[in-house]
Structure 1
Amino acid sequence: MAKSAGTGAVMKKKKHLKKYITLYLIFLPVAIWYIIFKYIPMGGIIIAFKSFSPMKGIGGSPFVGMANFERLFKSSAFLSVLKNNIILSVMDICIVFPAPIILALSINEVKNKMGKRVVQSITYLPHFISWAVAGGLFYMFFSVSKGPVNAVIKAAGGAGINFMGSSVWYRWMVVLSSVWKEVGWGSIVYLAAITGVDEELYEAAAIDGANRWNCLRYITLPGISSVISVMLIMRVGAILSLNFDQTFAMLNDSVLSVGETIEYYVYRVGMSSVNNYSLGTAIGLFKSLIGFVMVLGANWASKRISEDGGIW
C-alpha cells in the first residue's frame, strides 16, 4: 500500500511537471538570476563582523564581532542619515504611494478611449528617462536664475527661491520628482487590477441609482484593496531603501544634512572615501533586518484589518 501510494505521488508530480513545463522553463532564468545575484552574495554578510581588508580576503581578515555595529550606532552622522531616510520614506508612503492609485482611478473614469491613451502615454514617458537626466531637468526647471518656476515667482513680485539648495524645499523636490517620474508607470498595476473588477457590480449599482463616486467608493476601491495592500506591504518593507540614483543625481553639499540617505552614506563613507567595506556591509545588514521586520509587521497589520489583506 505504501509503495503504491508513493508511486501514485510520483506519477502525479510527473503529470504536474509535464503540464506546466513551459511555465517552469520561463521562470528558470529568473530563478538563476536570483540565485547568482541575490542568494550567493548573502555569504558576504560575514564582512560586517570582520575588519575586512581586500588584500587579506574574507577568510584572512580578523573577526571583530559587533564592533562595526557599535561604531555605527555611536556615529551621530549615521543617526542623522537614518532620520533623513525615515522622513523621506514616510513622505514617500504618504504622497508618492497613493499618487499612482489616484491616477489609475482617474484614468478609469475617462470614457474617451483616445483621451485615456494620451494621458497614459504622457504619464508613462518620464519613467524611461534616467535619473541623471531627470535630476538635470529639475535643476534647470527650478534654477534660481533661469528656471521658469522662479521666473513666474519673480514676475509676481516675489524673491527667487533656491529649491534644490534649500534645506526647507529639498525633500519636497525629491517627492515631486518621484511622483513626476513614476506615477504613470506605477498606475499600470492598479489599472490591471481595476479591469478584474466584475462589470456586473457596476451595472447592478447603476440600476440601484448609484453615481460614479459611489461606484468608485464601494466597488472599485474594495475590488483593488488586496493589490493596494500587497503593494503597501512591499513599500513599507523598503522603508530604509530609497533610490540611490535619484539621490546621487539631485543631492548637493548645501542639502547634505537633510537629504543624505543610507545608500548615499554607504557610498560616501563606506565605499568612496575610506574604503571601509565592513562598515558598509554592517549598514546593509541592518537595513535588511529592519526591512524584514517591517514586512512582517505590515503583513500582520494587514491581516488584522482585512482577511484578504497580506501577502501570506
Structure 2
Amino acid sequence: MDPKAQPDLTAVLASAYGLPGAVLERLPVGQVTVNYRAHVGNGDQVLFVKHYQGSESDLGAEQDAVDQTQLAGIHQVPVASVRPSVNGDTVVRQDGIAVSVWEWVPGTVVEDGLNPAQQRAAGTTLGRIHTAFADHPAGSGPSAKLEKWLRPDIDKLEATAVKLLGIAGERAQRDAFDEQALRTLAERRAVLHRIPELLDGLPPLTTQVLHGDYSAVNLLFQGDELTAVLDFLPPDPFLVAYELGRIAFDPRTVVLDENWIAAGVNLVGAYLETNPLVPAADVTACARVALLQLMTSLYGVKQHYLKPGLLQEDLDQFWLLRHAAAQRLLAGLGEVESALARAAHHR
C-alpha cells in the first residue's frame, strides 16, 4: 500500500474497530497482503493489521481463512485471536479498504531448522490441526488439486530445465549462480525419469482439509514454545502426507541437520500423539510425497532466468536449498521410509 494511503487505513481502524489514533508500522512480511504492527491507545496495546490487496471476489476466501484459524483455536491450536469490528465482523471492507485485525502474538520464525523440542511442538500442533479438520464438510468431495498433482507434466519439466540450461550456458560471462544453476539443473534433469516410479510407489492416501501452508515460515516460536500458527488457507482437501512430510522433512532440516532422518521421525512421532488415527500409509509415504513435491518444482531458478522476483537472491538460495534436499531425500528414501514405517506401527 502507498504510505500516503495510511491515513485512510487509520480512519477505518478508528471507525470500524473503535481504535482511534493507531500508529502503523509496516512489516516486511506478506505476499498478497500488506501487514502492519499497530500501536493503539497510549502505545501500550499492540495489534497486527492485515490489509488485503486482492479483488472483491478474493475476500470470501480470506473470510474462510479467518474462520479456519478460529476453528483451529477452538481445538487448542495456538493461533492469533482475530479482533472483531464494532459490528462483529472479522473481515471488514470500508471505503475501498479491506482489513482484518489480530491480537499481537510474540515470537519469531526459526529460519535455520527446528531443534528437537521445536520439532515436537510443530508435530504435536499439526496433529491437532488435522484432527480438528478431519471431518470438515469441505473435505468430503474430490480434490481437483490432487488429480493434477498426481499427473505432473514431466516432458514440460524437462523442456523448462533444458531452456534454463541454455540461457545459463549461453551467457558470455557466467557468475557463481550460473555455474550452480548449470550443475543443479543438470542433476535435476537426470532424475526426472524417476518421478513415475516414485508416484507408482504411493499407496492410497488420505485427503482432507489441511492448514494449507504449514511450513516453518508460518510458525512463531519463543524458545521451544510454539506460540502461534499463522496464515491458514481456505478449506481445500489435499494429502495429509503432503503437509506432514513438508514440515517433517523441511529442506532446512534435510540439508542442515546431520541427523535429519531422526529429526523428521521425531516430528512425526509427536504428530502421532495428537493424531493417532491417521493411517500408517500416510505416515510412511510422507517423505516420498515431500520428495515428489521438490522434484517437480523449479521454483527459484525458473524465476532467475525467466522473470526475476523482487527478492531474487533469496529465491536463488531457496532453489539451491530445495534442490540439495531433493537429492538427499532421493538418495536416502529407503532408509527414511523404513524409519517412518517403524514409527507408524509402534505409535
TM-score (norm: length of structure 1)? 0.26
TM-score (norm: length of structure 2)? 0.24
Structure number with larger C-alpha Rg: 1
Q: Which has the higher helix share?
A: 1
Q: Which has the higher strand share?
A: 2
